[in-house]
Amino acid sequence: MSNSVVDSLARKYEHVRKGVGNVMGGIILDTQAKRILNQGREEGRKEGIDIGEKQGENRLDALFIYLDSLGRSDEYKAAVHDPSLRNKLFAEMDMANKS
């Protein structure tokens, strides 16, 4: 609808029609709803990152406690530098916790 209005009003002025079309079509227009949506998304991302970091810290703490209780704290030190070993130890801990 807005395009037909712009075309009628600015029929003789191509550059005006393009400029108004860009504004009305959303190139320049940034509505409050868009800003609120984008702000909410950004806050959600930050919150998700914070939650993920905390869960990761808790999981590492649990792994250290698990290994330390078995007298294997040296494996924890090695796992810090070896993701493959760390994943193996996580799987072991998870199995032990299910039993």
Give the C-alpha separation, 59 to 63, whole Å. 6
What is the predicted pLDDT for the residue at 1? 42
10 found inside a domain: no
Residue 89 and residue 67 in contact, taking contact as beta carbons nearer than 8 Å: yes
Instruction: Give every CB contact of residue 23 below 8 A, 6+ residues apart in sequence.
Output: 29
pTM above 0.75, yes or no: no
Half-sphere exposure of 59 (CA within 13 A, CB side): 15
Residue 78's domain spans which residues? 48-99
35 found inside a domain: no
Kindly list the averaged pLDDT for each block of 10 residues, start to end, along the chain of length 99: 53 58 55 89 97 96 96 93 96 91
What is the predicted pLDDT for the residue at 34? 87
78 found inside a domain: yes
What is the predicted pLDDT for the residue at 23? 55
pLDDT tens-digit map of 5-14: 555 555 666 5
Phi, psi for residue 17 in degrees, rounded to 5: -60, -45
